[in-house]
Amino acid sequence: MNEATSDEDRPDRTAARPGGADDATVKALGTLSKALETVEQARGCLYAFHQLTGGADLTLGEAVEELRAAGHAQQADLLEREILGRNVIPGHWTYQVIESYNATYYQPFTSIEKQVRDELVDGHAHLYEAEMKEARRTWGHPDHTAGP
């Protein structure tokens, strides 16, 4: 490791490990962060599911009208009665699935993850990754600076 050549190249002290945080704790918090990131991805998939399903239902409405206009009222009525606006799981549209996920899983997860970080490392997020960045970067290289 080379000596820092400018303020940009000094270690990022805002991401410094608080006193008393050992390697095992930092690693465990890195794993917790990885789990939360996966939950964030899953939540994004739920929003994609919501938008795709909602878009399909709107397009289905167009198909129903087109079938009716083409003289296929029986088939249009069947689709309208059985599929258009149908729940995706019993009693739920997609927005309700998201609301339930957020209230039952996502919000408690994010709240407790923050509580654990607050208790163990003064709230520092991504401490494991910050230390990995510091260990892997090339000091003095303009694209490997510690901070922005």
Phi then psi dihedrals of residue 25, to 5 deg: -65, -45
Claim: this prediction has a pTM higher than 0.85: no
Closest CA to 1 of 137, 106, 114, 127: 137
Q: Is residue 115, in this structure, part of any structural domain at all? A: yes
Q: Is residue 7, in this structure, part of any structural domain at all? A: no
Is the separation of the CB atoms in 15 and 128 below 8 Å? Answer: no
3-class secondary structure, 89: strand
Q: Is residue 113, in this structure, part of any structural domain at all? A: yes
Please tell me the distance from the alpha carbon of residue 116 to that of residue 110, in angstroms, as a whole number. 10
- Domain holding 105, by residue range, is 21-132
Give the pLDDT confidence of 65-96 residue by residue, as tens digits: 999 999 999 999 999 999 999 999 999 999 99
Q: Is residue 1, in this structure, part of any structural domain at all? A: no
Q: Is residue 2, in this structure, part of any structural domain at all? A: no
Tokens, residue 135: 């260990």
How many folded domains does the chain comprise?
1
Q: Is residue 4, in this structure, part of any structural domain at all? A: no
- How would residue 114 be classed by pLDDT, with cut points 50, 70 and 90? very high
Q: Is residue 54, in this structure, part of any structural domain at all? A: yes
First to last CA, the chain: 20
